[in-house]
Amino acid sequence: MIQSRFLQVCLGIIAVLLIIFLTSKISFIFKPLFTTVNLLIVPFMLSGFFFYLLRPLVLFFEKQRMHKALSILLIYFVLAGSVVLFFILIWPTLQTQVQNFAESAPELIEDFGVQIDNLQKNRLISMLTPGQSDLSAKLSEYLNMLITAASDYVTRVVGVVTSFVIVVATVPIILYYMLKDGEHIPSSILHLIPRRYRRDGREVLLEIDSALSGFIIGRVIITGLLGVLLYIGYLIIGLPYSLLLALIATVLNIIPYIGPLLGAIPPLIVAFTVSPMMVFWVLVATLIAQQIEDNLLSPQIYGKRLDIHPLTTVILVLVAGGVAGLLGVILAIPAYMVVKIIFARIYNLFLADKVEELVE
């Protein structure tokens, strides 16, 4: 019995590997499909993101007996007004800081080298780093490479965004129909499931919807509040380019666990070009903001809904980033949550009893 079952498993694995091998030989057939998926994934991902953010507003207006289409158009109008206010109130300051930062990059590198030289003159530092007389030159060179790489990356991102303006312009249209007819999507999916499993399928879809909604809304609220806290802290300590650096830290903080560490690097580098004491104050401001986020904001907003171990999150982000880049990092946690919910239900339906029999 055991040998027969083992043989079946081996044959199944061989069949799967054979299918993968044959598929790789006729990959040209699937190339149009992959092209279509690559073209649609970004607008649909953005539409899904804004769907979960704006759906509570649509439901609120619907409870006020406002027509759904009218409520969506009203939300669009408010969003357009918010964008206009951003360009009027915030964009001039942000644009000025970006331009000043780009123009003063050589001076920042020079100031960075000066601070390293001053540290090397300290007896304690010189004892800890013997024979590192060229430490300043090396670190300045690394910083220059980092700034150049970041500039090139930003340039590539801007180029990609510009080349896909037509695709991104489809997001409001897709989002409109998702908000208008979103409640019909689960029914369409359930028709693809055998009748006897539709009840479980409905429960799975509700669980996935709740998990994604809680994660996306919670992440946006927490990230926004952390950005405000960091900006206030940078203003208080007088950090140069405070708005730009707070915005960079806010965007990177979208990445769970790793994001806050990455977001703290640019402010620390800029602070070091000012003085070692400024580095200390940046660390204090960052730690205070992150402690408020971890101990006060996250428990209140997330509660126990985000049941993912930190180590699992780090592994997911690293693997997804290596496979799919920035898009993989963004989608890693939501995709893991969806897959986890589906496989948990499949296990309970088909495998739990068999596993218990084998254990007994």
Rounded distance, CA 139 to CA 132, Å? 11
- Whether 241 contacts 259, CB under 8 Å: no
Please tell me the distance from the alpha carbon of residue 146 to that of residue 144, in angstroms, as a whole number: 5
| Residue 112's pLDDT band (cuts 50, 70, 90) | low
d(CA 80, CA 200): 40
| Per-position DSSP letters for 243-300, written without gaps between them | HHHHHHHHHHTTSTTHHHHHHHHHHHHHHHHH-HHHHHHHHHHHHHHHHHIIIIIHHH
187 — pLDDT class (breaks 50, 70, 90): confident
Under the banding of pLDDT at 50, 70 and 90, the label for residue 336 is: confident
The length of the chain, given as a count of residues: 360
Reduce the DSSP state of residue 214 to 3 states and report it.
helix
> Which of 95-99, 138-142, 187-191, 223-227 is the least confident region?
138-142
Q: Which of 31-40, 73-82, 123-132, 226-235 bottoms out in mean pLDDT, i.e. has the lowest? A: 123-132
Q: How far is Cα 78 from Cα 72, in angstroms, rounded to an integer?
A: 10
> Across the chain, what does the average pLDDT equal?
75
Q: pLDDT by residue (tens digit) across 237-273?
A: 988 888 888 888 888 887 766 777 878 888 888 888 8
pLDDT at site 270: 84
Q: Average pLDDT, stretch 139-159?
A: 55
Distance CA 118, CA 112 (A): 10
pLDDT-wise least confident of 136-145, 263-272, 341-350:
136-145
**Does residue 19 carry a pLDDT above 60?**
yes
At which residue do the structure tokens 């006020």 appear? 64
Compute φ and ψ for 207, nearest 5 degrees.
-65, -40
Q: In this predicted structure, which of 35-49, 156-170, 231-245, 341-355 has the lowest mean pLDDT?
A: 156-170
Cα 68-69-73 angle, rounded to 5 deg = 115
Percentage of residues of the chain with pLDDT beyond 70: 69
Residue 136: predicted pLDDT:
53
State residue 122's pLDDT score.
58
Please tell me which residue, 158 or 277, carries the higher pLDDT value. 277
Return d(Cα 71, Cα 59) in angstroms, integer.
Answer: 9
Nearest alpha carbon to residue 94 among 79, 102, 253: 102
Long-range CB pairs of 179-188 (<8 Å, 24+ gap) are 179/51, 179/54, 179/55, 179/58, 179/68, 179/72, 180/68, 180/69, 180/72, 182/51, 182/55
Residue 354 CB-density burial (10 A; 0-12 exposed, 13-18 middle, 19+ buried):
exposed
- What is this structure's pTM? 0.70
357, pLDDT greater than 60: no
Burial class (CB in 10 A: 0-12, 13-18, 19+), 251: middle
pLDDT in tens, 191-224: 878 788 788 888 888 888 888 888 888 888 888 8
Question: For residue 44, what pLDDT band results from cuts at 50, 70 and 90?
Answer: confident
pLDDT of residue 302: 58
Is the pLDDT at 140 greater than 60, yes or no? Answer: no
